[in-house]
Amino acid sequence: MAVTINATVGDASANSYITLTEADAFVEAMVESTDAAKWTTGNADSRNRALTAATQRLDRERFLGARSTDTQALQWPRTGVRKPDTYVRSFAGGFPFRLTEDYFTDTEVPNQVKRAQIELAVYLKNNVDGISLGGLEDFKNVKIGSLDVTPDKSGAVGADRIPPMVERYLTGLRISGPGNIAIKRS
């Protein structure tokens, strides 16, 4: 059965943050690479499947704020999330003044999330075995001389990791992860 994309923001049956047309346009504008070239091979259904799989994986992240409605299918849009790179102006007296536009609206999906979805979808479509990064993420230590391999049993790495390029897009939008600081009380 073919996958149909529903990218309606806040919809109860949405399964993607972007349409296939938007994804195709973005990939076409990417710097020429073999991944971008492979995106258009195959049929639209394979690209739709990659988009929905990427959305499902991104929606397992722990994002800041709260979902805008109880009925929306996806994690975005969200309320109470400050835009990571907002500009702060000062009054004449030097007091900081936050602009009201420095928060994402209740109907807005950040471009960062859309770009992360596209990057991950391209990655997934071109790597049919799923997410496999450098191959050493599951090891705590790898030594070449006398071959000393120590598996990482913490469970923090492995199959559920996403590529670093996708991680970068999510900086400032998640509760934890690379680029975000987790604060723990002692």
Tally of CA atoms within 13 A in the half-sphere of 158 that contains its CB: 10
What tokens were used for 150? 């120590």
In whole angstroms, give the CA distance from residue 151 to residue 136. Answer: 9
| pLDDT for residue 96 is more than 90 | no
pLDDT at res. 36: 74
Identify residue 118 by its one-letter amino acid code. I
pTM equals 0.74
pLDDT at res. 138: 52
Q: How confident is the model at residue 88 (pLDDT cuts 50, 70, 90)?
A: low
Least confident among 10-24, 29-43, 59-73, 105-119 = 29-43
| pLDDT for residue 21 is more than 90 | yes
What tokens were used for 37? 């070239």
pLDDT at res. 40: 84
E strands, 32-114, are 66-67, 78-79, 88-90, 96-98
Q: Which residues contact 173 (CB under 8 A, 6 or more apart)?
A: 63, 64, 81, 84, 110, 112, 113
What are residue 139's DSSP bridge partners?
151
Q: What is the pLDDT of residues 9-20, one digit of tens each?
A: 999 999 999 999
| pLDDT for residue 134 is more than 90 | no
| pLDDT for residue 185 is more than 70 | no
In whole angstroms, give the CA distance from residue 167 to residue 174. Answer: 10
What are residue 78's DSSP bridge partners?
67
